[in-house]
Structures are given as C-alpha cells and as structure tokens.
Amino acid sequence: MNVQDSPDNSPQHILQSVFGYNEFRPQQQTIVEHLIAGGDALVLMPTGGGKSLCYQIPSIVRSGVGIIISPLIALMQDQVDSLRLNGVRAAYLNSSLSINEMREVEGALHSGELDLLYIAPERLMMPRTLDLLETLPVSLFAIDEVHCVSQWGHDFRPEYVQLSILHQRFPQIPRIALTATADSATQREIIERLALTEARQFISGFDRPNIRYRISDNTINAREQLLRFIRNEHQGDAGIVYCLSRKRVDQVAAWLTSKGLTALPYHAGLPQEVRKENQERFLREDGVIIVATIAFGMGIDKPDVRFVAHLNLPKSLEAYYQETGRAGRDNQPANAWMVYGLQDMIMLKQMQANSDAPEEIKRIERHKLDAMLGLCELTTCRRQALLRYFGDELEKPCGNCDICLEPPETWDATAAAQKALSCVHRTGQRFGVGYLVDVLLGKEHERISRFGHDKVSTYGIGSELNQSEWRDLYRQLIARGMLAVDIEGHGGLHLTEESRPVLRGEQPLHLRKFSRKAKAKSRERKANRFTDTGNNDLWEALRNRRQQLADEQGIPAYMIFHDATLAEMVENRPDSLVQLSNISGVGESKLASYGEQFLDVLNEYRGLENKTQNDTEEETLQLFRLGMNAEAIATQRGLKETTIYNHLAKGIERDEIPLDKVVPLEQNQLKAIRFAFEQFDSGKRLKPVFDALEGEFSYEVLRCVRSDITR
Ligand code: ADP
Ligand code: ZN
C-alpha cells in the first residue's frame, strides 16, 4: 500500500487506517502535529509510552523519507518488519546488509519509494551517506535513544555527539530526539550537544503504571517462591528471571525446566550460538522464560514480557528501574517481582567495600545501593519512592504495588533493636549475623565460650524472637544503615553513627512485621488472564492461531497482533471483518492479511460454545421431564439454581415445557406479573419489573414468565 496516496492524509486517519488505533495518547497528538508543522522536539517518555508513533506518523504524512537514527542494529529488522506488516514502506541500512541489498535500498530511496529509513549513527555519519541524503527529500530526522549522547550516562556512544552535524547541514529539516531515561542534567546535555535549544520539550515522567512492583524479603527457598509465582500468575507467559551469577542462571533454568516450564539460560559464559538461539526463541515463541544475568536485556524490545523476576538485588534503583522496565512494554498489566534476603545484602555491601574504585565513586555506589535497600524495606508506596528518586512526584499512593495492595503491619522494634545493636557492641563489633543471633538466643557452643561471650550482658536476652526473626531484624538494621559490613569479607558487623539515637533510646524504631508464609499465600491471585474459563479457552485458541501464523512467516508472534489486541477480541467477540477492524491494533493491512484467520477462530469458538450451551440445557430439560424440580436438578448437576432456571426458561421459550410446571402461580399472580411486563417495554430488563412488583417474585420466576410471554 502506498500510504501517501490515500485520500485522507491526516494524522488521525493514518492512526486508524494504518496502525488500527482509535485515538492518540495525550502527548502523541501534540508531538505529531508539532513535527508535521516543521518544529523540532525533545521527547522524554517512559518505555511503552508510544514514542515510535511520534515520528512514524509524521514520516508518513510529510513528503519525503523520515530518517530514524538508532544505535540498536539488532532491532531495526523487527521495526521494519512490523511497519511493513502495517503496509508502511520502510527499510533499514546497516552493516548486516549485503552490497546488493544496500543498492536496493538506495534505489528505493532515489525513486521515493520509502516513508521511513532506519539507520545506525556510524553509517549515517559516513560522508557517502550524508551526500546521498542531500540529494533526497527528507521529511524528518528522529534520533532515538538520544541519552547515548551523554558522556556521563552508561550508554555513551561517541558517534552520537557528531549528530550535531544534522543541524548544520540540514537546518530546515525537523528533528525529534527521543529517550526513556534522562535526568535533568542529561536533558541539558542533549539539548546543548545536538543544538536543540529551539526544540519544544515534551517531558512525560517515568511512571510505568501497568507494572506492579512487588518485593518480598523471604528468601527461604526463593526458587520455590518463584515457581509458585509463575505457576499461579504467569502460566504460559513470557518473562525474564534475573540472577546474579552464571552458575545460578544455569541452575535455575534447569530447575524450572524440570518443573515443566520452558526456561532458557542466557549469560556471557554460554557459546554465542546458544545465546543467540535462546534469545531468538524468547522473541519468537509465546511463553518462553529467559533466566539471565544482567548481560541480557539491552536491545530487547519484546512488548509482551509479562513479568520480570529478580532472584537477587540490583545494585541501584537505576538498574532496578531499567531491568523491571522490560516488562509490559505493550502497556498491559505486568509484574516486577523480587525476593531478596540478608545474604544478598551482605554480599553486595562487601563487593562494594572491596572494590578498587576511587573513594568518590565508591561513595556514589554506596549511596545508590542504600537507595535500593531503602526501596526494599519500605512500608509506604514503592512507586512513589521509586519515582521520587528520579525526581517525579506521584501525589497519591499508586494502588498497584505490594505495599498499597497489602499494607504491611509494623511493630515497635525499639527494644529489640537496642538488644541487637548492643550485642554487636558487646561482642567487639566483628562478628556476623549468625553468631550474634546465637549469642542473643543464649546458644551453647564452643566458640561463644572461647570468646567469653556467654558472660556478656546480651547473652541469652533474646528469647522473644526466634532465629529467623532476629536475622530479619538485623537485615532491616543493615538496610537502614545502622550497621555496616566489614571490609575483610567475613560478614562482621559494626555500629554506625545512625545507630546511636536508637541505642540511646532517643529515637523509636518502627519496622515491618516479619513476613510469614500465610501472608505470602494471600498474595496469590488467579493464574488465568480472564476470570471466565470460556474466555481463557478462546484466548488460548487465538494465541495458537497467532503462533501458527508467526511460524509460517518466520516472525515473532507479537508482530502479528499484540496481546492487548487479542484480549480485546476475547472481550468484544467480533463476528465480521468490519467489527474486527474496530479492535485496537487492527489496521487495514493486517485486517487484509489476517482478518479471516482470526474470524475463523472466533466463529469456530462461538459454534462450540453454542453447542455446549445446548447440551447443558438439554440435560436440564431431560431431568425436568423425569419429574425433578429445579432445586433437585441443581443439586444433582452441581450447578447453581439460577443456572437451572435459565435452562428451564429457554425450554419454556421454545415451547418444550409448560410454564405452570416450572413455576406454579395463581391466576391473579400471573396476571400481575404480565401486567408489570407490559408496563416496561415487555421487560428487556428485569429489574424495573422486579421493583414494580416490590420484590414479591424472584428473578427466576420473572425470567420464566417472560419466556412464556415471548414464546
Ligand atoms: P516506546 O517506544 O515508547 O517504548 P512504543 O512506541 O513501542 O513505545 O509503544 C508501546 C506500545 O503502545 C506498543 O504496543 C504500541 O503499539 C502501543 N501504542 C502506541 N500508541 C498507541 C495508541 N495511540 N493507541 C494504542 N496503542 C498504542
Ligand atoms: Zn503503591
């Protein structure tokens, strides 16, 4: 399809006909219009916010080709494939193309056959490419992942700095720079380096409202907890599980596999081919779980990752935000789930203490880790804290994190904390948690007596808590910076300045209650996407069809339709191409390619449902004819009485059984009900009739009478 030739070239029309979406998201429309009018823009929008449309639609609407600069070569093909499935004329130029393919793309450029061209910055900067662009009508330049221009950020790319040349050589062509991560210093750097001072700024904040943050401090068998989480909430979903070490990655992947899940390992120690294949399967198949070190993720743009699980603590909130941010790019509900424990915390603290980095860097790292620990030990909304760290204010608690959903109970831990801290002091500030807890509990062992710690005042004074509760308490004290871990790496603890007010009794300490098994249970929710089993069956059927089509074409399943689109099909049950085209995500091109295929599934399913519906009705009627009443049938069939009455009402409507056998009513009662129905438009809705009769007759009775009337 040549989109530019379509009669209506408005952004709104392109949005609907090409991308199949009904409306723009709030910022998108303004950005699109600003660009079409020729303005420059700096766009900061969280992942999943919908940045791509901001340059794709103007590229289509404006004449000439839109040049999209992206550092992620691996993603270009996917983006181009996706656009082509929507009928957009797109191509890419990068080092993966052969000379011939390259010529082909250049030919298409020259003859004006492209609306979008993706290109890596280093290729763009080649004199040859720049010369080529000068001969072409260019509609806009989009600079994606523009934070790469920042020398202080972790993704710095020198080629990005050179992109300022675009402004010099192509001053009239609008530029849009986009990123999901840039604090205010980075924003200033971007503007300065790329000469974007005139650009209008669209800053949307960092919130990812569809991600549910959940952090639990229970590491007694983290693996089991993970399995339960996946089985209960993410059966058949794609997800990423992060572990700290390669060995742990291998173990967890193998273990999940042994439990019947599709879990593949990914870390830098695996051969290149294995890594590549596992990544491909993750992208292309539905419901694959990747177990990975943090080596995995950069440049993964899979939209339907439904959960990210951490079996270890990230080093900073930046890392946590970035890693969890890989979930739910399609804006559908997703989980960021983490378990962590004392051991993790001590290990990270030690790694940091032992690093060779200069003191000022170590100080920053310490500060970052403390912020991460702070998030873990929080007793208030996690999202508010996370966003505040990035300079965003969320006015109210979010309602979509574990704390909001299940506010933790706190207890006055002042006295216990004093005991724990003074035990550190009494034993000389060099022992680890295990030993300290033994002293508090008055354990008898050789080491304690050798050091004479069975004589200190804190020996045996801790019977009010058990071993794991004391460990929990120590963890919270470390997380709050009241205790520090030794540098030698033995896990020895010593007191910090922060502990003094508590030790002196000047400051009360309220801590989160210890997690209990029972509590973890109540958090479990239904695994299925839909509460109705019928809907789940249809959902699975649609997903199967999608996978089948994707396999045939060798593309990832999500490229055909996103989960959100399939979910809408389940909810709205379209039964014609026109109705299908109203589903969000179904544009003209995809409707033509896949519409029939998905309608088939929907229709087949409808047939099946009707059939089972008929079967179950028939069974009720048979029992009724055998002389059983509604109550007896309900008991025998294990169904609700209302359901049985529904079946019977259908039988009355089809004239298969008489009304008076089902509900024996007096003549005047029947008259009254009939009269009430006449008053209310023959009773499309039962409630007005029910109310008019002042609740004298049940809905079941009314339904049967209505069937008799419409018979
Ligand atoms: P980003 O690049 O900001 O991470 P994308 O451009 O990939 O986000 O968009 C995120 C998701 O939202 C995609 O699934 C995309 O198709 C969808 N999307 C974007 N804009 C709209 C819209 N106006 N209506 C419905 N869905 C949209
Ligand atoms: Zn919250």
pLDDT tens string 8-24: 889 999 999 999 999 99
pLDDT tens digits along 148-200: 998 876 678 899 999 999 999 999 999 999 998 887 788 899 999 999 999 99
For residue 486, the model assigns a pLDDT of: 76
For residue 478, the model assigns a pLDDT of: 85
What are the E-state strand segments in 469-613? Answer: 483-485, 493-495, 510-512
Q: How many residues does the chain have?
A: 711
Protein residue whose Cα sits closest to atom 5 of ligand 1: 50
Over range 404-410, report the average pLDDT. 89
Over range 63-72, report the average pLDDT. 94
Strand partners, 117: 67, 91
Poorest-pLDDT segment among 35-44, 86-95, 318-327, 353-362: 353-362
Say what percent of the chain tops pLDDT 70. 95
pLDDT band at 142 (very low <50, low <70, confident <90, very high): very high
For residue 476, the model assigns a pLDDT of: 86
Has residue 406 got a pLDDT over 70? yes
Ligand 1 site residues, Cβ closer than 6 angstroms: 21, 24-25, 28, 45, 47-53, 303, 329-331, 562, 584
For residue 348, the model assigns a pLDDT of: 83
Q: Looking at the CA of 402, which ligand is closest?
A: 2
pLDDT band at 264 (very low <50, low <70, confident <90, very high): very high
Protein residue whose Cα sits closest to atom 26 of ligand 1: 21
Has residue 567 got a pLDDT over 50? yes
Has residue 524 got a pLDDT over 50? no
Domain spans of the chain, in order of start: 3-203, 211-405, 410-512, 534-710
How many helices (H) and strands (E) would you count in the chain?
A: 35, 17
Q: Which one, of 357, 349, 404, lies nearest residue 379 by Cα? A: 404
Report the residue among 12, 14, 16, 25 best suited for mutation to probe ligand 1: largest number of ligand atoms under 8 A from its CB: 25
Q: Looking at the CA of 31, which ligand is closest?
A: 1
- Give the span between the Cα atoms of 511 and 455, in whole angstroms: 29
pLDDT band at 489 (very low <50, low <70, confident <90, very high): low
Q: Which residue has the higher pLDDT, 651 or 520?
A: 651
Residue 18 Cα to ligand 1 midpoint, Å, equals 14
Distances from the Cα of 447 to the Cαs of 431, 435, 436, 522, 661, in angstroms? 11, 9, 12, 42, 86
**Strand, helix or coil for residue 65:** strand
Q: What is the CATH number of domain 211-405?
A: 3.40.50.300
Over range 566-591, report the average pLDDT. 94
Give the domain 534-710 fold. DNA polymerase; domain 1 (1.10.150)
Half-sphere exposure of residue 390: CA atoms within 13 angstroms, side-chain side? 27
Say what percent of the chain tops pLDDT 90. 57
Q: What is the pTM of this model?
A: 0.73
CATH tag for 410-512 (out of 3.40.50.300, 3.30.450.20, 3.40.50.720, 1.10.10.10) = 1.10.10.10
Report the residue among 75, 179, 330 best suited for mutation to probe ligand 1: largest number of ligand atoms under 8 A from its CB: 330
pLDDT band at 488 (very low <50, low <70, confident <90, very high): low
Q: Which residue has the higher pLDDT, 89 or 445?
A: 89
- Give the span between the Cα atoms of 699 and 645, in whole angstroms: 10
Poorest-pLDDT segment among 20-29, 62-71, 192-201, 676-685: 676-685
Residue 398 Cα to ligand 2 midpoint, Å, equals 4
Antiparallel, parallel or unpaired: β 263-266 and 483-485: unpaired
Q: Kindly write down the DSSP assignment for every residue of 41-57, as one continuous string.
A: EEEE--TTS-HHHHHHH
pLDDT band at 33 (very low <50, low <70, confident <90, very high): very high
Residue 637 Cα to ligand 2 midpoint, Å, equals 44
For residue 219, the model assigns a pLDDT of: 60
pLDDT band at 523 (very low <50, low <70, confident <90, very high): very low
Has residue 1 got a pLDDT over 50? no
Q: Which one, of 402, 338, 404, lies nearest residue 373 by Cα? A: 338
Q: Which residue has the higher pLDDT, 32 or 693?
A: 32
CATH 3.40.50.10800 fits 3-203, yes or no: no
For residue 528, the model assigns a pLDDT of: 60
Protein residue whose Cα sits closest to atom 23 of ligand 1: 24
For residue 181, the model assigns a pLDDT of: 80
Q: Which residue has the higher pLDDT, 408 or 5?
A: 408
Residue 318 Cα to ligand 1 midpoint, Å, equals 23
pLDDT band at 683 (very low <50, low <70, confident <90, very high): low
Q: How many CB atoms lie within 10 A of CB 446?
A: 7
pLDDT band at 7 (very low <50, low <70, confident <90, very high): low
Protein residue whose Cα sits closest to atom 19 of ligand 1: 50
For residue 393, the model assigns a pLDDT of: 85
Atom of ligand 1 nearest to the CA of 584: 25
Report the residue among 17, 30, 44, 52 best suited for mutation to probe ligand 1: largest number of ligand atoms under 8 A from its CB: 52
Average pLDDT, the chain: 89
Residue 382 Cα to ligand 2 midpoint, Å, equals 5
Poorest-pLDDT segment among 91-100, 359-368, 576-585, 598-607: 359-368
Poorest-pLDDT segment among 69-73, 295-299, 308-312, 460-464: 295-299
Per CATH, 211-405 and 534-710 having the same topology is answered no
Q: Kindly write down the DSSP assignment for every residue of 343-407, as one continuous string.
A: HHHHHHHHHHHH--S-HHHHHHHHHHHHHHHHHHT-SS-HHHHHHHHTT---SS--SSBHHHHSP
pLDDT band at 517 (very low <50, low <70, confident <90, very high): very low
